[in-house]
Amino acid sequence: MREPNRNRGSIFVTGTDTGVGKTVLSLLLMRFFLMRGRTPFYLKPIQTGCTNAHDRDSDARFIYEHVPALAGMDPGDSVVYCFRSPKAPWFASGDEAEAIDPRKIAAYAKRKRSAHSHIVLEGAGGLFVPVTEDVLMIDLIALLNARPILAARAGLGTINHTILAVEALKARTLDPLGIVFIDSGLTETPGQMVAENIEAVERFSGVKVAGTIGRIERWSEPGEECYRPLATLFGER
């Protein structure tokens, strides 16, 4: 089956907030593409709160540990900048007197994109997290010429946060590929609330919610249901 054009290039996993589930969504995207014979590459341009990419809190390490095709490979290859302080990149980089150069990130992503079917980029925090003194995370999405996928919580409060995020993307002429709800809490969000949240978000944002990813017990073996929102995003049944 010929791959649609919208499936190619760079995908930027962004979120309505910190800790909303971007890394979980990135992991599933990597596994989803690999299961379909693609050659994706995971890239975390800026990691904060870690000593290096091998740290236990490293998102790249998490991805590499739970994607069999990456076994034995170096997660450091997937991180351009890494800073110890768990704060916004602008301030975390300032703590170590190392300036972030968005052009360096763009050049690195371009090199990786030439050798892979997809680049799965994962942002740090939300859209308006400062990368430098004059660049926000949303600006980095545009610089990387990436198509954003928005990760959002499934429960209470997500209507406001998700619609605001979509409005921000559209204001920068960034067209979201779709929205994925992440419901990873210890208590599952009631089905009626999730359905109402989806209805409101789709109605007022004009962007489709591809589905909801629930709590995953085994990261190395996510259930088939976890991939259904991704199949919807990429036009599969």
How many structural domains are present in the chain? 1
Instruction: Write out the catalytic residue numbers.
Output: 44
Q: Is the pLDDT of residue 1 over 60?
A: no
pLDDT at 237: 57
The pLDDT-based confidence of 2 (bands split at 50, 70, 90) is very low
What CATH number is attached to the domain comprising 211?
A: 3.40.50.300
What is the per-residue DSSP string for 20-68?
A: SSHHHHHHHHHHHHHHTT--EEEEEEEEES-SSTTSTT-HHHHHHHT-G
Query: The domain containing residue 192 runs over which residues?
Result: 5-233
pLDDT tens figures, 217-237? 888 889 999 999 999 999 875
Q: Could you tell me how far CA 81 lies from the centroid of its own chain?
A: 17
Residue 6 has pLDDT above 80, yes or no: no
* Structure-model confidence comparison of residues 7 and 237, the more confident one: 237
On average, the pLDDT of the chain sits at: 94
Look at residue 186 in the predicted model and tell me its pLDDT: 83
What's 7's DSSP letter?
G
Q: What is the pLDDT of residues 12-52, one digit of tens each?
A: 999 998 889 999 999 999 999 999 999 999 999 999 999 99
Backbone angles phi, psi at 172, to 5 degrees: -100, 15
Average pLDDT over residues 66-91: 97
User: What does the pLDDT average to over 115-129?
Assistant: 96
